[in-house]
Structures are given as structure tokens and as C-alpha cells.
């Protein structure tokens, strides 16, 4: 049976698996923010690997390492924003203050403002991370479906 991502935790087995993974992750990554080990994040990874805990854990380790390498937890901090000031100045993206009619955050991307000859790919990547983290910070933490 294939589970959908928008389903709630529906078994004690899933709860036990999430609990075991969280304990191991918190032990291995003591410096990470707690919000990356939320039930819904762990559940998403667990279901994507059909409840294979070993493979799920490998994927989560890669995910956490990617977040650390790219300073994702600091994406809304001033020092991070200073690194992407050139990209932000170009106003390629606009996060709208009001949510859509389902309560989700809204972002507009102005592709015509993107010029291949005037960019630093590392800065573009960090700017995308910043915008996505900004959107996530405005969203309901229990809402794991970002698009339909």
C-alpha cells in the first residue's frame, strides 16, 4: 500500500520508527536546530523509502549534512543575507506578505530579471535557499504539502 505525503501518522509502527530516528539524529547532530527533526519531516523521508529505516537514516544524514554545508539554519540571519546582497538587490523574487486562500505563503519569481552573464551560481543557490526558508518560516509547520 502506497501512503500519501499528506496523511497523518497512522500507526504505532511509524511513531516508533520516527522516535528511533529522532533519537539517533539528535545524538549524531547535537548542534542542529530541533525544527529539522519534526515528525512531519521524518515521516516524509520514512515514507519515501517505504519505511526502510536504514535507507531513511542515510537519506536524513545526507539532508542534514547538506543543510550544514549550506548554512540553511542561518538563511534568515544578517550574515547570510549579506552574502546574497547582489542577488537580493536584483529583486528576482518577491515573498508576498499575505497568504493565499489556503493559508500558504506566496512567492513570485521574475525570470526576466535573471541574466546568465551577471550572476554567481553559488550566490544564486544561497539566495534560493534564503527564499525557500523564508517561505517555510511563514508556513504552517504541520502542512507538508507545498504544492498541489
Q: What is the pLDDT of residues 67-89, one digit of tens each?
A: 989 999 899 999 999 999 999 99
Residues of the chain with CATH 1.10.8: 12-69
At 42-55, the pLDDT tens digits run: 888 999 999 999 99
CA 47 to chain centre: 17
d(C-alpha 148, C-alpha 128), whole Å: 21
Domain 12-69 CATH assignment equals 3.30.70? no
Average pLDDT of the chain to the nearest whole number: 85
For the stretch 1-28, pLDDT in tens is: 344 445 566 678 888 999 999 999 888 8
Higher pLDDT, 123 or 146: 123
Alpha helices in 70-120 (DSSP H): 78-83, 85-89
Residue 122: CB atoms within 10 A of its CB come to: 11
Q: Measured between alpha carbons, how far is 62 from 3 in angstroms, rounded to an integer?
A: 23
The answer, yes or no, to whether residue 36 has pLDDT greater than 80, is no
Cell numbers at 67, concatenated: 543543510
Who has greater pLDDT, 143 or 131?
Answer: 131
Amino acid at each position: 500500500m502506497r501512503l500519501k505525503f499528506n496523511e497523518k501518522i497512522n500507526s504505532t509502527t511509524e511513531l516508533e520508527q520516527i522516535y528511533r530516528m529522532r533519537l539517533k539524529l539528535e545524538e549524531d547532530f547535537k548542534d542542529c536546530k530541533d525544527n529539522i527533526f519534526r515528525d512531519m519531516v521524518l515521516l516524509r523521508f520514512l515514507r519515501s523509502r517505504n519505511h526502510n529505516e536504514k535507507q531513511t537514516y542515510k537519506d536524513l544524514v545526507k539532508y542534514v549534512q547538506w543543510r550544514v554545508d549550506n548554512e540553511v539554519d542561518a538563511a534568515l540571519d544578517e550574515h547570510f543575507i549579506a552574502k546574497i546582497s547582489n542577488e537580493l538587490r536584483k529583486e528576482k523574487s518577491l515573498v508576498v506578505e499575505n497568504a493565499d486562500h489556503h493559508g500558504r505563503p506566496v512567492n513570485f519569481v521574475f525570470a526576466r530579471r535573471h541574466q546568465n552573464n551577471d550572476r554567481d551560481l553559488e550566490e544564486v543557490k544561497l539566495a534560493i535557499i534564503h527564499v525557500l526558508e523564508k517561505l517555510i518560516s511563514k508556513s504552517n509547520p504541520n502542512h507538508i504539502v507545498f504544492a498541489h
